[in-house]
Amino acid sequence: MEAIRIGIAGLGVVGSGVVRHLWANADLIAERTGFRLEIARVAERDPARPAALGIDSSLVCPDPLDLARDPSLHIVVELMGGTGIAREFIDLALRQGKGVVTANKALLAEAAESLVGLATQKRVPLCFEASVAGGIPILKALREGLVANRIISIHGIVNGTCNFILSSMTQSGQPYAGALAEAQRLGYAEADPTLDVGGFDAMHKACILAALAYGFWIRPSDVHTRGIDGIAPEDLHFAKVLGYTIKHLAVVQCDEDGAVEVHVGPTLIPSGHVLASVAGVFNALAVRGDVVGDTLFYGRGAGPDATASAVISDIAEAASALTQGYHLPACGIHGLYNRFRPFADTRSRHYVRFAVADRPGVLAQIADVLGRHQISIASVFQPKEHPGEMVPLVMLLYRAREQNLRDALAEIARLPVTRGEPVALRLEDFDR
């Protein structure tokens, strides 16, 4: 049985999980694939990490570039993170004709176009299943299982930290700060949670999903990204009263005109929709294809075991490509789509909450501004449990152009009968 020699760069939480599970399931993997995956070298600056795993010190080096240059290795695995040395490592390994596996979503979102091009030129595999939704095999599904489909839309809960915080706020009614502190105490949020709660982690994943679905890479700077730190308990409450749940969604879809739109942010979805029931740190993606219709992918989106499962799957796939001599495309470049629609030109329904003076004529003034910006009101809700000079006024709006809504809300905020900036959230009915 042929042995595939692997080098692993980075023995943090995920890297250590990969080593442990590769060893634990070595016989099972060999039986299923026809070759043995051998950890031949590791790159790690902290000698305590490989020692704790029982890795012989003779296999350890501090410089990951040594692995990329090593002619005895067939596949290298990048689990260091970041966009500096990790990019240099992957670039060098591909130029040396090695298969590469990475879980580095930030690097892929920033530099995948050049790295995928290099892998294609060298005809070596570049695999990155673990970069999106942990152990959920969503990229393989887009690339292979749904190959007969034009992808109409992807709506994904792809960040477990955001989902845990919103789930906690919805269930307990506590404010954002309290839910974040709970997530940090349980280890679901970093000490500096900005990458997660700011929406940037989900944005990186959305860029990768868009490339697999539509065949071209979108610059992260072009993706409208909104986090959850501005979500108030009252918006979660009002959404529930109106029959909706607020989830942090990555949305990737092709609109009616054939343009691709990608955006990330808190979104109202019907409480009866399957994504509304996804709670805690779990991830889920609803994918609609023109042939298969609606499909759902659900599971753990992070953690050492879920991510290690995806990494090992990629190692096995890369090994198959190398041993059987076929070219494994990292991304389908099919040329059917190449136009990105700016967020300001996208159209959606919206939930909007205003703080208004409690007197007659206010609704008419707001409706007049919305009408002049070609925005129609679907329903109006004014809670009675808020006595006082200023009260909340909640509206659900019909589909409107994003820029029109921004302009209208800016004008409404200047009216003497309103106070503060209106709160506006997208509303998704999944009816397209």
Please name the residues in contact with 96: beta carbons below 8 A apart, sequence gap of 6 or more: 68, 69, 71
Catalytic residue numbers, as ranges: 205
* DSSP class per residue in 253-292: EE-TTS-EEEEEEEEEEETTSGGGG--TTEEEEEEEETTT
Round to whole Å and give the CA distance between 124 and 100.
8
3-state secondary structure of 44: coil
CATH topology of domain 347-427: Alpha-Beta Plaits (3.30.70)
Per-residue pLDDT of the chain (432 residues; tens, 9 = 90+): 689 999 999 999 999 999 999 999 999 999 999 999 999 999 999 999 999 999 999 999 999 999 999 999 999 999 999 989 999 999 999 999 999 999 999 999 999 889 998 998 999 999 999 999 988 999 999 988 998 999 999 999 999 999 999 999 999 999 999 999 999 999 899 999 999 999 999 999 999 999 999 988 999 999 999 999 999 999 999 999 999 999 999 999 998 778 999 999 999 999 999 999 999 999 999 999 999 999 999 998 888 899 999 999 999 999 999 988 776 666 655 567 778 999 999 999 999 999 999 889 999 999 999 999 999 999 999 887 666 678 999 999 999 999 999 999 999 999 999 999 999 999 999 876
* Phi, then psi, of 120 in degrees rounded to 5: -65, -45
Q: What are the residue boundaries of the structural domains of the chain, listed by start?
A: 2-135+304-324, 141-300, 347-427
Round to whole Å and give the CA distance between 72 and 214.
36
Q: Which of 62, 66, 115, 109 is nearest to 87 (CA)?
A: 115
125-161 in b/e form (b: 16+ CB < 10 A) is: bbbbbbbbbbbbbbbbbbbebbeebebbbbbbbbbbb
Q: Which of 229, 20, 245, 251 is nearest to 153 (CA)?
A: 251
For the domain covering 141-300, report its CATH number.
3.30.360.10
CATH topology of domain 2-135+304-324: Rossmann fold (3.40.50)
